[in-house]
């Protein structure tokens, strides 16, 4: 009976996580991960939490416990970075973040002794790097993804710089953030515990704004100023790391500095290229092949294997090689431009700009539309039978071909929703 209860608690928590567009496919590995991060009682309580931000009073009503008891539970969960807490007009507001980018990553953003990080890392590795379901669900469903690539700013020409908007610059995200935190890179920390880490800097994972405020408050990240963060960004540039950040224009909450060998986003970009799991920049490299020496430095630095060495077909030099771009793999990060000794690679604007959601709400709604989960955001309190029934009904309606096609239109997902969210912020 105890075994059945344990499984049920984590199953219900898994169901709750998967009501959000960024979920986690259920499996025995997932239940083992959740059992390390949550007690059975915590899993039961968190499974009942709404998707939208909530306060302690709302939690006490849902859990049917006193307000003081609810506050104690919420503070404990926030102290372990299971929940993100933020101050809104003097009141603590709580959000259950998705697993990624969320409490999975937060669990390895510092060295801690309350959980076995080696065992957890091994489970994460099996769940994300061996099994494909989680990363496929996270980064390869729908057109709108969790994250986007930032262009390598030092290689931008003066003309290119005119085409880069502020939200496309990592430097601008840093300079305008209300709070900045730095922590251990989840990906390289995980790979360290499984014996596969590279020598790229570890303490270089950047969080911003509300996420940084919560993580630094509870010691999961170190509070830093913009100048120190810009120094870390320069360090990332020098180690040829790709900046991969939250796919929003306003209030970016994270920028990871990614290597091709450890980081989930770069691994997904290689494994699921055809599904476009990572949004590109608005640039793409152009290789002047007649001047290419075939040194291969661009090939070696590319984290997603978007450049290959091919025969130059030079009758005078039959063994001469030259670099060739594989366009549908390219992130447009610009690392190849940085390392080219002959300066034969330059960035050029893509013919069509990549659309970036306004903020986290906009992105969540668009992802929910694309993944057939909009009903979960509308009828948020699944503890009520009426909400579950209405969500099921709306889900069936939204799956009808003409409605699904209309909801999936670019105009509705971009302009209309953006204006609606600007007028009625959540």
Domain containing 306 — which CATH number?
A: 3.30.70.20
In a domain, 239, yes or no: yes
pLDDT of residue 141: 73
Provide the pLDDT for residue 208. 98
- A 10 A CB-CB count for 61 gives 12
* Residue keyed to tokens 């030099």: 317
**Does 354 have pLDDT greater than 80?**
yes
Q: Is the pLDDT of residue 101 over 90?
A: no
Q: Using 50, 70 and 90 to split pLDDT, how confident is the model at 99?
A: very high
Q: Is residue 342 part of a domain?
A: yes
State which residues form the domain around 408.
360-423
Which of 313, 330, 349 terminates a domain? The answer is 349
Confidence grade of residue 408 (pLDDT, cut at 50, 70, 90): low
pLDDT of residue 391 exceeding 80, the answer is no
- Is residue 264 located within the same domain as residue 139? yes
pLDDT band at 371 (very low <50, low <70, confident <90, very high): confident
Give residue 276's pLDDT.
81
Per-residue pLDDT, 363: 87
Distance of CA 322 to the CA centre of its chain: 34
Q: Lowest mean pLDDT: which of 4-18, 77-91, 109-123?
A: 4-18
* Statement to judge: residues 322 and 379 lie in one domain: no
SS3 state of residue 201: coil
Judge whether 419 lies within some domain: yes
Model's pTM, two decimal places? Answer: 0.87
Predicted confidence (pLDDT) at residue 9 exceeds the cutoff of 80: yes
Token pair listed for 40: 């059975």
- How would you write 161-182 as a 3-class SS string? HCCCCHHHCHHHHHHHCCCEEE
What's the mean per-residue pLDDT of the chain?
88
Residue 412 confidence (pLDDT): 59
At residue 393, the pLDDT reads 47
The pair of structure tokens assigned to 178 is 């209300």
Distance from C-alpha of 374 to C-alpha of 392, rounded to nearest angstrom: 11
What percent of the chain has pLDDT above 90? 65
Query: Would you state the pLDDT for residue 3?
Result: 44
Same domain? 169 vs 234 = yes
Helices 28-37, 2-17: axis angle to 10 degrees equals: 90
Lowest mean pLDDT among 46-60, 89-103, 152-166: 152-166
Mean predicted confidence (pLDDT) in 262-281: 88
Number of domains in the chain: 3
> Does any domain span residue 158?
yes
Of the given ranges (7-11, 16-20, 38-42, 107-111), which has the lowest mean pLDDT?
A: 7-11
| Least confident residue range of 87-101, 171-185, 215-229 | 87-101
Could you tell me which residue, 396 or 47, shows the higher pLDDT?
47
Give the range among 27-41, 123-137, 245-259, 370-384 with minimum mean pLDDT.
370-384
Residue 369 banded pLDDT, cuts 50, 70, 90 = confident
Q: From 222, 247, 275, give the residue that closes a domain.
A: 275
Strands 180-183 and 242-246: unpaired
* 317 phi, psi to nearest 5 deg: -135, 80
pLDDT computed for residue 308 by the predictor? 94
Residues with Cβ within 8 Å of residue 58, at least 6 apart in sequence: 50
Q: What pLDDT, on a 0 to 100 scale, did the predictor assign at position 311?
A: 84
Do 213 and 303 belong together in one domain? no
Residues 401, 376 share a domain: yes
42 within domain boundaries? no
Task: Please choose, from the candidates 295, 290, 307, 306, the residue with its C-alpha nearest in 3D space to the C-alpha of residue 340.
Answer: 295
Tell me: pLDDT of 381 over 70. no
289 and 268, same structural domain?
no
134-168 pLDDT, tens digit each = 888 877 677 888 999 999 999 998 887 877 889 99
pLDDT at 5: 46
Least-confidence region, from 179-188, 312-321, 367-376, 410-419: 410-419
In terms of domains, do 334 and 418 share one? no
Residue 121: CA atoms inside 13 Å, Cβ hemisphere, count?
Answer: 22
Nearest residue to 365 (alpha-carbon basis) of 304, 308, 419: 419
Residues 234-242: contacts with CB within 8 Å, 24+ apart?
235/201, 235/204, 236/201, 236/204, 237/152, 237/154, 237/338, 239/200, 239/201, 240/301, 240/335, 240/338, 240/339, 241/200, 241/201, 241/204, 242/149, 242/152, 242/266, 242/303, 242/331, 242/333, 242/335
* Judgement on whether residues 182 and 246 belong to the same structural domain of the protein: yes
**Domain boundary residue among 275, 296, 315?**
275
| pLDDT grade for 389, boundaries at 50, 70 and 90 | low
Cα(106)–Cα(87) distance, rounded to whole angstroms?
20
- Does 175 fall in a domain? yes
Half-sphere exposure of 389 (CA within 13 A, CB side): 3
Instruction: Give residue 420's pLDDT band: very low, low, confident or very high (50, 70, 90).
Output: low
């Amino acid at each position: 009976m105890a075994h059945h209860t344990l499984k049920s608690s984590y199953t219900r928590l898994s169901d709750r996580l998967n009501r959000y567009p960024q979920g986690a496919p259920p499996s025995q590995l997932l239940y083992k991960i959740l059992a390390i991060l949550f007690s059975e009682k915590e899993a039961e309580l968190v499974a009942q939490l709404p998707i939208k931000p909530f306060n302690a009073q709302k939690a006490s009503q849902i859990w049917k416990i006193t307000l003081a008891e609810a506050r104690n539970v919420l503070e404990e969960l926030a102290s372990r970075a299971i929940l993100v807490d933020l101050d809104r007009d003097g009141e603590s507001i709580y959000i259950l973040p998705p697993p990624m980018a969320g409490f999975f990553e937060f669990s390895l953003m510092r060295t801690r002794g309350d959980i076995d990080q080696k065992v957890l890392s091994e489970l994460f590795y099996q769940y994300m790097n061996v099994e494909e379901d989680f990363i496929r669900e996270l980064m390869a469903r729908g057109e709108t993804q969790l994250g986007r690539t930032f262009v390598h700013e030092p290689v931008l020409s003066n003309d290119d710089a005119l085409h880069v908007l502020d939200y496309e610059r990592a430097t601008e995200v840093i300079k305008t953030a209300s709070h900045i935190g730095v922590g251990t890179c989840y990906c390289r920390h995980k790979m360290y515990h499984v014996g596969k880490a590279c020598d790229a800097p570890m303490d270089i994972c950047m969080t911003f704004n509300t996420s940084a405020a919560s993580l630094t408050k509870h010691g999961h990240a170190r509070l830093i100023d913009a100048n120190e963060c810009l120094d870390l960004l320069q360090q990332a540039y020098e180690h040829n790391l790709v900046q991969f950040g939250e796919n929003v224009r306003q209030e970016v909450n994270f920028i990871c500095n990614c290597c091709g060998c450890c980081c989930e986003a770069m691994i997904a970009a290689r494994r699921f290229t055809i599904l476009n799991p990572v949004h590109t920049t608005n640039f793409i490299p152009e290789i002047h092949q007649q001047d290419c020496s075939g040194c291969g430095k661009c090939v070696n630095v590319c984290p997603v294997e978007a450049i290959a060495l091919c025969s130059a077909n030079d009758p005078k030099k039959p063994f001469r090689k030259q670099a060739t771009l594989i366009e549908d793999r390219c992130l447009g990060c610009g690392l190849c431009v940085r390392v080219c000794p002959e300066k034969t690679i330059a960035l050029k604007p893509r013919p069509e700009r990549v659309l970036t959601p306004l903020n986290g709400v906009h992105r969540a709604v668009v992802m929910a539309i694309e993944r057939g989960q909009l009903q979960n955001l509308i009828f948020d309190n699944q503890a009520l039978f009426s909400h579950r029934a209405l969500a099921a009904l709306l889900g069936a309606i939204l799956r009808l071909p003409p409605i699904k096609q209309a909801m999936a239109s670019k105009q509705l997902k971009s302009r209309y929703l953006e204006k609606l969210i600007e007028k009625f912020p959540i």
